Structure 1
């Protein structure tokens, strides 16, 4: 294990926006339990598709998309607050 200093752009909560050296752009730190939840959400979509339940798959996908949109908004807001260029097309 290596200890390093990072730059923190948001509160150190569950989805903190941080920049690791020597990276140019910050990233989002997702805790392991949250990563497991995202994985379970994707698995639910796959299972619904396998069962032919398009409505359930669409509903689960819409919830996942909404959660990811919130995370992406938090990320872009943090970068804008520090005048850091957004490293991707804003059209997403």
Structure 2
């Protein structure tokens, strides 16, 4: 893996098997994004706008899935969660 750029809690990395670079986000930052997406989804639910509700829920679910991968990687290795 090559680090192409780093800015604060975010890095752009290049995995050898991938043609496009990826974005690396710190776990605590990802956790905050999941919480924010949950708040947006809750607010969207109050609007009654079905498309907005679906999009907000999908965003929350995708970010939550990423956080689950992060957590399930750290736990077996005995690494503490930063949040």
Greater share of strand residues, 1 or 2? 2
The TM-score normalised by the length of structure 2 is: 0.50
Greater share of helix residues, 1 or 2? 2
Larger Rg: 1
The TM-score normalised by the length of structure 1 is: 0.45
